[in-house]
Amino acid sequence: MRVRIEVERDSEAGEGAQSLFKWLSADPEVRAGAGLSPVRRAAAPGPMGPVLEAIEAVFDSGVQLASLVVAVAGWRSTRPRRDRVHLTRGEVRVTVDSGDPEAVARVLRALGEGDAPEAGGGAPADRPGRQDR
C-alpha cells in the first residue's frame, strides 16, 4: 500500500512537510511498519537543497496504516496552526483535519476501502467538511 502525505498551505521552504517527516521517522510504530521517503519539489533547489514537497509511505497492512494516521493526527496537535494534512492512496484523497477517534476511523475507512468518508474530520479533500467543535 502506498500513501502520499502532503501538508496544506506549507511554507515555500517546505517546513511543515519536513517537520512531519521528522515526526513520522521518530515514531517507533511508524518506523517499524512503513518505509518513508521524502518527495522533493522539482523546481529549483533552495539555499539548503531541494525543498520537501510531500512524504511517501509504503506498507502492507491496515495496522500500519492506522499507526500512520494516528501519528499524523498527533503531529497536527503539536502545530500552532493545526495544519491540515492530505493523504492520497490511488484515486482516494482524504484530509486529516481532526484528531478525534471518529475522524481517524473515517480516514482509515476511506483509505483502506476506497470509500469516501463522511464530512468533517477526514473529509475528502475536494469537498470541505463541517467544522468540528
As a whole number of angstroms, the distance between CA 21 and CA 132 comes to: 26
Q: In the chain, what are the domain boundaries?
A: 2-42+49-113
pLDDT tens for the chain, residues 1 to 133 = 899 999 988 887 888 999 999 999 999 999 888 899 999 877 655 555 677 889 999 988 888 899 999 999 999 989 887 788 999 999 999 998 888 888 889 999 998 864 433 333 444 444 333 333 3
As a whole number of angstroms, the distance between CA 49 and CA 68 comes to: 27
Helical (H) or strand (E) element with 111 = helix 101-113
**Predicted TM-score (pTM) of this structure:** 0.76
Q: What is the pLDDT of residue 132?
A: 34
Assigned CATH topology for domain 2-42+49-113? Alpha-Beta Plaits (3.30.70)
Residue 86's closest CA among 127, 37, 30, 45? 127
